[in-house]
């Protein structure tokens, strides 16, 4: 399984970005998919996740600002990020789950990551 992220970049605080994650196979082969991030010197954080049944999870730090969605026909996961803050700066990774729950399960497959940098 390959997961390929895109859409990262440099944006000013208050701006928006949309990340995409293209899977090499049907996303219905997974129990769920999600987005994680890791900033230098910090632990990896579960940002948002979506189970195939449609339930979602968001970290408190991004609730109301980030939205996870998917396009089943394109086998693609998205993360719409708005009102970005400098503390959102991190490498963002797409991942897929082979079990539940999406809130705590460690993903089985990971993408290579896409950098998001938010300037103040």
Looking at residue 23, its pLDDT comes to: 97
How buried is 96 (Cβ within 10 angstroms: 0-12 exposed, 13-18 middle, 19+ buried)? buried
What local confidence, expressed as pLDDT, does residue 115 receive? Answer: 98
d(CA 92, CA 44): 9
12 pLDDT band (50/70/90 cuts)?
A: very high
The answer to whether 77 and 66 are in contact (CB under 8 A) is no
* β partners of residue 107: none
pLDDT in tens, 20-79: 999 999 999 999 999 999 999 999 999 999 999 999 999 999 999 999 999 999 999 999
pLDDT computed for residue 22 by the predictor: 98
pLDDT bin (cut points 50, 70, 90) of residue 112 is very high
């Amino acid at each position: 399984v390959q997961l390929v992220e895109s859409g990262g970049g440099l944006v000013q605080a208050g701006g928006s970005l949309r990340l995409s994650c293209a899977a090499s196979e049907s996303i219905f082969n997974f129990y769920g998919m999600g987005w994680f991030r890791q900033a230098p010197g910090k632990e990896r954080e579960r940002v948002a996740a979506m189970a195939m049944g449609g339930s979602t999870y968001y970290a408190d730090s991004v609730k109301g600002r980030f939205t996870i969605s998917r396009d089943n026909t394109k086998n693609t996961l998205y993360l719409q990020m708005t009102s970005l803050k400098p503390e959102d700066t991190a490498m963002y990774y797409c991942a897929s789950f082979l079990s539940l729950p999406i809130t705590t399960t460690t993903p089985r497959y990971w993408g290579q990551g896409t950098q998001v940098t938010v300037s103040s």
